[in-house]
Structure 1
Amino acid sequence: MGVQTTLDAVASAASIVDAMRLADDLAFEAGRDPGVRTVRLLRGAVRGDDELVTIAAIHALAEVFDGEAGRLLVSLLSDERSFVREHTAWALSSGLPRIEAMARLLGLVIGGGFTGMIAQSTLEQWSGAMPEALFVGIESALLCETDPEARARLVETLGLVRESFATDPLLRIAADVDEREPVRVAAVAALGQRPGAPRVEKALRALAEGESFLAEVARLSLVDLAPADPQETSAHREGLSVAQLFLHADIDPQLSAAGAGDNGGIATLLVRLGNALADDPHTGIRRVITLSRGSIHEAGGDLQTIRAHVEGHVYGHIPLLREPMSSAAAWPLRVVTRRGIRRILRAAGGVDVLHLRMADVGALAAADVARELGIPVVFTVAPDPHAVIESMDRSGALARTDFGRVDVTEHFWFRTRLVQRLAANSSHTVFFPRARLTEDMRRLVGIDMLAHAERHTVVPEGVDLATVDAAVAEARTAASGGTVAPAFAQLRALIDELPAERRGLPLVMSVGRLHRVKGMASLVSAWANGPASAHANLLVVGGDLERPSVDEREQLDLIARVVPEEQRAARGLLLPGHRSNDIVARWMAATRVGMPGANAAGGVYVCASIKEEFGIALLEAMASGLFVVAPDGGGPATYIENGVTGILTETWNVAALGTATDAAIRAAQSETDSDRAERGRAMVQARFTIQQMSSALGEVYRTVAREEQALVELAGTLS
């Protein structure tokens, strides 16, 4: 098409997602036609007001192997626009190392955040070609920098220089009692990546004495330093060993933190799925290892457990060496996450398949480890953040003129490219059902599911129907005057705090993380400012109310603007915070069945997410017999019969959400039999149980393992 034509196409694209896709064409054309005019065109685009075009032009410049293009990119590291500096640091990783950019990239590392991670990643790629220059640059920066967190980032970057001359400074910093703890921790963690040096092991053993945090880090570094046992292959074991990862949750077998922070439906799913895979002999899975974040105390014990258990469902925690943070803020933990994942997978003594699901720092780090250890990857592809971008574009919340500034916070560009990269490099891709799956994957993500269709599988998520059915049975017993389980007593106590005139109303219930994508504040606004609040109370389950994260605090503040805290009871708003999955199941059942004197039967469930790729909580609600409200796209549109088992609506539109919520309550309250409830449950039983999901994924894992084994055997015959 040519650079000018493609640049025009990016600038005039009908949507932001389309423009982002066309940016790849622009980069290709720029690389194919380097020269003075190409650089001139891209320079003009970088200076324009269309921030989407600016970003596209920066990445196109990186494909022009020309001295002028390189000098322009380096100069952009000093641009006053933060998104320009960030994307330039990323774009530079595509080309040859440029020593004149090193000081500015180190400056970005010192600044930290996502931009610092990007700059550090670029420097890591360059370190093999110019280790001495990077070493000198870091040493010089350390002489001038006093902030301990910034120094720690520099030391971590120093640890990525693999040459032996970087070892002495790391040893010196690790042993320096006058150095602040974060800096020493970074040095000790980096020493674990330097095998074959007796003095390193000796230093770590000395540091590992005692019970301090630094000593615990040193003990893990000694584990990293030890040579790994030869990796077993599936041919040497009965059954496969599968690892699954979700970094941003505190996952435990009891699901005790469901709904807090980032502990959403995925945390519940991985526990249920891991159990189902390991328990069903027909899956061919002998052991499932579920990886998530955790404390350094948990990490050491997990390694022993994983080594000792060659079957069943076991857990491995990745110590992030700092307080947990949201997925959006966790990108700077790339290096420490990579080390933690590698440590667990090495301790496992052989993993046949690694399943990744999110385009986050955990998947970014895990993909590197899988490549290093030769583990095939299965990746669940979802149009995320593509669908969010599209929704925000349609609603006017995101525009070309401010895309770059929003991207600094949301990292939309990086995450879309990460999805594409993970999908392209995976042995097999898994998809959620969508109404227009093939079309959406091609249009939003750029994946042609018809090409090599044998490497793509559609696998719906599943729910534990036994838990749901038990909860409904208990709710009916309690409603008829029988035994009242503690979960129902807790819900009754919440409702008893409401004024008398609001007791006995049905409930509108919603469960999920307090995050803007989940739309909880929008739901409160839709309910409070619409007709639904007159004849139903709202129960929002989720969030850590005592120690809210940044995202949770944002949603709580937005909720307080609509319904001030002191008015919640009077207006019928219940915010109990997060609850375990078992309690949530019982509260859903009580929302449907009712509790005499507390809430009327015939409540509804509302999912207000801007986008919902599938919707575990929605399925649990339908299995409980609840009438539901859900987004009119993504997964829910494939299993909700609009106007029959629920209402599909534009959840990003507060007015539409309020209208749909009121209509749902009226529909549920007008029912005279259980036909609709039974229809919803039957649908879940027929299509969406955890056992069905386990069976489908078991077949995927077996296929991937067979293909990998064939590759290993072929390589053996050719060697």
Structure 2
Amino acid sequence: MKQTDRLVDALRLADDLAVQAASNGGVRNLRILRSAISSNDQIVAIAAIHALAKMGGEEVDLVLSELLSSEHGFVREHAAWAHRSRVPRSESIGRLIGLVASGGFVAMLSQRTLEAWSSAAPDLVAIGLESALLGVSDPGSRYRLVETLGLVHHPVATAPLMRTAQDENEDVSARVAAVAALGQRPEEPKIVELLTHIVDAGEKLAEIARLSLVDLDAHKTPELDHAILQHGTGLTVAQLFLHADIDPLLSHSGSGDNGGIATLLVRLGDALVAGIHPGSNDEHSEEPHFLPVDRVLTLSRGDALEASQSVAALGQSRHGHIYGRIPLLQDAKPSSANAWTMLVAARRGISRILRAAEGVQAIHLRMADVGSLAAFDVARALDIPVVFTVAPDPHAVIDSMDRAGTLNRKNFGDVDEVEHFWFRARLVQRLATNSAHSVFFPRPNLRHDIIDLVGIDIAKEPRRHTIVPEGIDLGVIDRAVLEAQSLASGRPGTAALLELRDLLSELPEERRGLPLLTSVGRFHRVKGMATIVEAWAGSDLRHRTNLLLIGGNLQHPSADEREQLTRIDAVVSPADRITEGLVLPGHRPNDTVARWVAATRTGLPGFSAPNGVYVCGSLKEEFGIALLEAMAAGLPVVGPNNGGPATYVEQGRTGFLTTTWNTTLLRDAIDSALRCAVAEGAQERAAYARSVVQERFTIEAMAHTLNQVYSDVHHDDIELRRELISSP
């Protein structure tokens, strides 16, 4: 591990180190690992913590317990995680409870360890939590401690939970945690009576109590056999992105974490239930085991009232694309990087929706985030097969930052404390290993990259893996282009295009004859919006183009959005944005965005010139929905030279790929794209770009491939159950 040149190699070697530690204990090896933990090589230090947890002996327990009080945050986090594989110890329980109270990612890790330990030592955990509550007044800390108490599935925790739920002097957040936890306990008349009373009182806790009554009712019902089709002849498939407010109109697109994944899930869910597949004359494919999709459940966050409405709607809806809401029980809407403390609430909300659906044949997970972790736990408990889209994330980001010099051995742990690289990488491995089927994005060297970055060889079990390109709704793009062309020809414009014209009218008159550089996406470091501004502002591009960045919640920015805006403001003062040609409108609905991207190509007479360029400044794109949409609109595109874009962006013809974190190289690629946009044959290149999308990357084609995957997974699940029943 110390000798590897790349951080991703060191990350993978940590597994070998843990295996060696498990089979080679002893005082000498204990000393070696302790020394590694205290070294300034932070990635080796983390590996040593997890290797130490594989060794036996009381002395190992003492060392791990001491690490829970380390001055280094990343050491405390990984020690809390590593404790999960150890036996309960009273001194460690106290320290873990303190970490739960402190909040953040370490609170989630500590909570999971205490939950695992509560089976063997319920009294120790429950008494420790009750004692901690006596000395803690912070509402957030009390919420987490009560929530953790609710994970002790033993009668010893019932009485304190009921007291907290009824205590009107208690902070409402702690009461919310207690009421939610009561819905997870074996039904008792006194619990039902209390929850019913809270519902009847109609106070703030009423909706939470209503959900808990739903949970109690679900838990007393015999488990459903999710392999059996409950309604009609088709499948029910669930898909999930917890960190977005997903609605059919995509009205929150580009705000917070409402990025391309939210757009994809809406379009894909619609296409799956529509059953219109390329090359088939009817809704049924002739491929083996094919079953149409009757229902798609798209799950995202919401409040308790929306969650109740979701459950009620599921009881009445046997067909179509249905949106389910997961209440996170806290008012904040954190970014995906900061939502890990909401794991317990997410797990309960996902379980509630899947139970209410009365028969889900597969759940498709796509991200290494808290939503996927929660959904995987639920799917395992309900025996629902998981389909997982495997991407080298965070592996590709680690590798990019390593090559850029911003991530190294000396700061890996400190960065990991913010980005949770180690946990997310392990989550990807766990989901990929335990899923019924894995989906991969196309990459130029897919097998090599997945082995190199993730350590999975897809050639070993080809039947368990499918390569699925993402797709876009070409009809939306074509309509947008027609509307933009119409306005460019002098005909009346639609509301979306008139809104763009109003924005551009604020530019100085001398800048209204310049083309647009346009980018769409979340304002997040990985998406590189600030890097685009830095590349544009530091060259003559600033004088040749105007820059339109669509995305972000500018009125109430998240921490990630603030970081990007701060970097942008350091280059172009907010007061000078319009004067300098930088247009930041914030996020817009997806259909509006499509029209603005189309107008980047056609221009708006008197406000912007035609022949603009689309720029993606992401550190990496696993595939790139926004890039595909821009190509379909006929724009030359600029994007990252790693990941999915290299499978469809043809250098010099449909776009230019580059090292996007390097502002000099990004600037050169943008310059080349601008020249390409006005060069001879530009119209032919635009038509060719659209044809590439039409032939290979439509949402209908993606739906067809995934429908077959879901059908095969369901067929294999049925066969496995039959084997288990027939085996002696």
Query: Which interval holds the TM-score relative to the shorter structure?
Result: over 0.9
**What secondary structure does 2:200 align onto?**
coil
Does 2:476 align with 1:481? no
Q: CA deviation at 1:275?
A: 0.4
Question: In structure 2, the residue corresponding to 1:636 is in which secondary structure?
Answer: helix
Q: 2:224 aligns with which of 208, 228, 231?
A: 231
- Residue from 643, 659, 677 that aligns with 2:686: 677
- Out of 571, 589, 609, the residue aligned to residue 600 of structure 1 is 609
Which deviations, in whole Å up to 9, do the C-alpha atoms of 1:437-476 show, x marking residues without a partner?
Answer: 1011111111110111100000000000011111111111
Is 1:275 aligned to residue 270 of structure 2? yes
- How far off its partner does 1:588 sit? 1.0
2:240 equivalent to 1:245: yes
Q: CA deviation at 1:271?
A: 0.3
Task: Say whether 1:256 aligns with 2:265.
Answer: no
Query: Which secondary structure does the structure 2 equivalent of 1:476 belong to?
Result: helix
2:324 maps to: 316
Structure 2: how far apart are the matches of 1:326 and 1:490? Answer: 29
Confirm whether residue 558 of structure 1 aligns to residue 551 of structure 2. Answer: no
Q: Secondary structure at the match of 2:315?
A: helix
1 CA distance for matches of 2:681 and 2:16?
58
Residue type of the partner of 1:339? R
Structure 1 match to 2:455: 446
Matched, 1:215 2:224: no
Q: Distance in 2 between matches of 1:583 and 1:234?
A: 42
Mean Cα deviation higher: 369-378 or 315-324: 315-324
How far 1:229 sits from its partner (Å)?
6.1
1:496-531 residue CA offsets vs partner (Å, 9 max, x unmatched): 000000002100000000001000000011111122
1:54 aligns with 2:48: no
CA-CA distance at 1:230 after TM superposition: 4.7
2:280 corresponds in structure 1 to: none
Which residue does the alignment assign to 2:535? Answer: 526
* 1:28 equivalent in structure 2: 19
Alignment partner of 1:348 is 2:367: no
> 1:135 Cα shift?
1.1
Alignment TM-score, normalising by the size of structure 1: 0.97
Query: Match of 2:2, SS?
Result: helix
Give 1:672 shift: 4.9
Contact 2:122 2:156 in 1 (8 A): no
Give the match's secondary structure for 2:492: coil
Matches within 5 A, 1:149-160: 149-160=140-151
Q: Distance in 2 between matches of 1:624 and 1:166?
A: 59
Aligned to 1:7: none
Q: Report the Cα offset of residue 673 of structure 1.
A: 4.3
Write out per-residue CA displacement over residues 616-662 of structure 1, whole angstroms, 9 at most, x where no aligned residue. 00000000000000000100011101111101000011121112112
Aligned with residue 524 of structure 2, among 515, 520, 531? 515
Displacement, 1:715? 2.4
Alignment of 1:561-572 (within 5 A): 561-572=570-581
Listed one character per residue, the Cα deviations across residues 140-168 of structure 1 (whole Å, up to 9, x for unaligned) are 11111121211111111110011112101
Once the two structures are TM-superposed, the CA of residue 80 in structure 1 deviates from its matched residue by: 1.2
Partner of 1:714: 723
Equivalent residues in 2 for 1:128-147 (5 A)?
128-147=119-138
Contact 2:240 2:299 in 1 (8 A): yes
Matched, 1:301 2:292: no
Give the letter for the 2:171 counterpart: R
CA distance in 1 between partners of 2:300 and 2:565 (Å): 26
- Partner residue, 2:57: 66
Question: For the residues of structure 2 that align with 1:696 and 1:42, how far apart are their CA atoms?
Answer: 48
- Using the alignment, how far apart are the partners of 1:211 and 1:533 within structure 2? 58
Matched, 1:590 2:599: yes
The AA in structure 2 aligned to 1:310 is: R
Which residue is equivalent to 1:416? 425
1:288 is aligned to 2:273: no
CA distance in 2: counterparts of 1:358 and 1:211, whole angstroms? 37
Aligned to 2:588: 579
Q: 2: distance between equivalents of 1:125 and 1:714?
A: 31
- Check if 1:97 corresponds to 2:96: no
CA offsets, 1:58-94, max 9 Å, x none?
0000010122222111111111111111111101112
Helix, strand or coil for the counterpart of 1:55? helix
1:592-631 per-residue CA deviation (whole Å, 9 max, x = no partner) reads 1111111111100000001110000000000000000000
- Note the alpha carbon deviations across 1:270-310, whole angstroms, 9 max, x for none: 00000000010336111000000012221111111111111
2:702 paired with 1:698: no
What is the rounded CA distance, in whole Å, between the counterparts of 1:365 and 1:99 in structure 2? 28
1:43 aligns with one of 34, 49, 55: 34
Native 8 Å contact 1:607 1:629 kept in 2: yes
- Counterparts of 1:323-472 in structure 2, within 5 Å, are 323-472=332-481
**2:695 alignment partner AA:** A
**Which secondary structure state, in structure 2, belongs to the residue aligned with residue 354 of structure 1?**
strand
Instruction: Decide whether the 8 Å contact of 1:109 with 1:120 is kept in 2.
Output: yes
Paired amino acid for 1:481: G
Q: Within 5 A, what are the aligned runs for 1:602-641?
A: 602-641=611-650
Give secondary structure in 2 for the equivalent of 1:667. Answer: helix
CA-CA distance at 1:481 after TM superposition: 1.4
Report the Cα distance in structure 2 between the residues aligned to 1:292 and 1:632, rounded to whole angstroms: 31
Q: Which SS does the other structure have where 2:81 is aligned?
A: helix
Counterpart contact for 1:594–1:602, Cα < 8 Å: yes
Partner of 2:288: none
Question: More displaced, 37-46 or 457-466?
Answer: 37-46
Q: What residue in structure 1 maps to residue 695 of structure 2?
A: 686
Tell me how far apart the structure 2 counterparts of residues 684 and 80 of structure 1 sit (CA, whole Å).
52
Say whether the 8 Å CA contact 1:234–1:240 is kept in structure 2: no
1:100-147: CA deviations, max 9, x gaps?
Answer: 211001110010110011001011111101111111111111111121
SS at match of 2:388: strand
Q: Distance in 2 between matches of 1:560 and 1:111?
A: 33
Q: Distance in 1 between matches of 2:457 and 2:612?
A: 42
Q: Structure 1 regions of 5+ residues with no counterpart? A: 1-9
2:172 corresponding residue in structure 1: 181
Instruction: Say if 2:230 and 2:358, in contact at 8 Å, map to a contact too.
Output: no
CA contact (8 A) 1:531 1:662 kept: no
Structure 1 SS opposite 2:32: helix
Q: Which residue of 1 aligns with 2:672?
A: 663
The secondary structure found in structure 1 opposite 2:300 is strand
Is the CA contact (8 Å cut-off) linking 2:223 and 2:382 kept in structure 1?
A: no
SS in 2 for 1:40: helix
Range with bigger deviation, 671-680 or 603-612: 671-680
CA distance in 1, matches of 2:64, 2:647: 46
**Matched residues in 1 for 2:204 and 2:478: separation?**
45
The letter of the residue matching 1:249 is A
Determine helix, strand or coil for the equivalent of 2:411: helix
Question: Normalized against structure 2, the TM-score is what?
Answer: 0.96
> Which of residues 258, 261, 280 in structure 2 aligns to 1:266?
261
- Distance, in Å, in 2 between the alignment partners of 1:539 and 1:181 is 44
The code of the aligned residue for 1:231 comes to L
Residues 229 and 235, structure 2, Cα contact 8 Å, conserved in 1 = no
Aligned mates of 1:336, 1:89 — CA distance in 2: 20
Q: In 2, distance between residues paired with 1:643 and 1:54?
A: 45
Give the C-alpha shift of residue 195 in structure 1: 2.5
Q: CA RMSD in A?
A: 1.1
CA contact (8 A) 1:111 1:150 kept: yes
Partner of 2:189: 198
